[in-house]
Structure 1
Amino acid sequence: MSDNTSSPEGDAQEDELQNARLQKAVIVAVNAGQPPRVLAEGKRYATLLNAPLVVVHVDVTRFVTFEDPDGLVHSAPIDLNVDTGAEEFAQVRSETEAAMAGSGLTWTARQLVGDPALAIKHLAGDVDAQLIVVGTRSRGLGESIREFFTGSVAARLSHRQSRPILVVPLEEPVPDTQKEIWTE
């Protein structure tokens, strides 16, 4: 059974009702085009824990401008001429629908906005999540520089909330004989 939510500025009352159905969920954070391993692990743990699955994509091209007292979130794009987040979320939702077909799990896909660690933390609190599943970043100089400035989402989550976090490697491990992790 799926329950897809696509709007970062969705109806607050609808989100509240959906959050009630998703209590004790497993949250899995995914990016468009990411290897399916992270979603597969989230699905596996949701099955093991007999919990709903919440697949989230965080649109970092938007930021939260304010939140109404009733929970309605208003956001704005960083660049008014770019709306890549909607395209990426459509791809995430499509990939999730294919992966979840016939699983029998209750699941939903949501797009969050802003800082990934803070957005996931906030959602985890709303649904009293049992587990948060995230992937590692791809190896490479560009990704290591980005992580240096923004920090690892997994590390930031581990310091800002108390829920268990499963970090899933996206690539094959670097052999112990290889001196440098990033070869670029």
Structure 2
Amino acid sequence: MTDPTSTPAEGELQNEQLRGAVIVAVQPHQPARVLAEGVRYAQLFSAPLVVVHVDVTRFVTYEDPDGYVHSAPIDLNLEAGVAEFEEVQRVSADALQGSGLTWTARQLVGDPAIAIKHLANKVDAELIVVGTRQRGIGESIREFFTGSVAARLSHRQHRPILIVPLDEPVADDKDIFAE
């Protein structure tokens, strides 16, 4: 799955240049810790970094044999996904300034676990970095219906996954669904 600004040939060339990359999944307003861990591991591995944002308001309609993905919106409000990706790009550029890393940002579409898995296969990723979900009843309900991206990734591909906690740990005697 390629970002919408690249042509199929450019996407394949970029994928080759990103071989062995660390992939880090980033959402707007997510704690900076997830991106920081992705940067840290990319530096440790001397690997390029691919910052991905998955637009779950779009779905894949078909994929060309050369890998170019065609998508369609679930909702006609296309600006939401564009604005989120622009925010991820801005935050990433600020965080990566002076890091010395080769990096790029990609917007994927559809199911996050499947989209990240496909990209990881295309670039032969070394590691996938994802954050945990935010705590709260709304997120608990969403995860009940859609499942954990980290858990679904761990069952659908062979690469190591680093799961970064977003919040302070919950005490052992507390109910994680009550917060």
Aligned to 1:3: none
Q: Offset of 1:71 from its aligned partner?
A: 1.5
Q: Which of 136, 158, 166 lines up with 1:140 in the alignment? A: 136
Q: Which of 163, 171, 176 lines up with 1:175 in the alignment? A: 171
Equivalences for residues 46-125 of structure 1 within 5 A: 46-125=42-121
Report the count of equivalent residues. Answer: 178
Larger deviation: 114-123 or 74-83?
74-83
Would the aligned equivalents of 1:10 and 1:72 in 2 still touch at CA under 8 Å? no
Q: Offset of 1:80 from its aligned partner?
A: 1.5
Aligned to 1:45: 41
Matched, 1:28 2:24: yes
Q: Considering only aligned residues, what root-mean-square deviation do their CA atoms show, in Å?
A: 1.3
Q: Offset of 1:180 from its aligned partner?
A: 1.4
Give the counterpart letter for 1:43 in structure 2: V
Aligned to 2:148: 152
Deviations 1:40-92 (A, max 9, x none): 00000000000000000000000111111221111111012343110000000
Unmatched 5+ stretches in structure 1 = 1-5
Would the aligned equivalents of 1:9 and 1:72 in 2 still touch at CA under 8 Å? no
Q: Offset of 1:183 from its aligned partner?
A: 2.6
Q: Percent identity?
A: 71
Q: Secondary structure at the match of 1:108?
A: strand
Structure-2 separation of matches of 1:82 and 1:46: 32
**What TM-score results when the alignment is normalised by the length of structure 1?**
0.93
Deviations 1:81-129 (A, max 9, x none): 3431100000000000000000000000000000000000000000000
Matched, 1:11 2:3: no
Deviations 1:130-174 (A, max 9, x none): 000000000101101100100000000000000000000000001
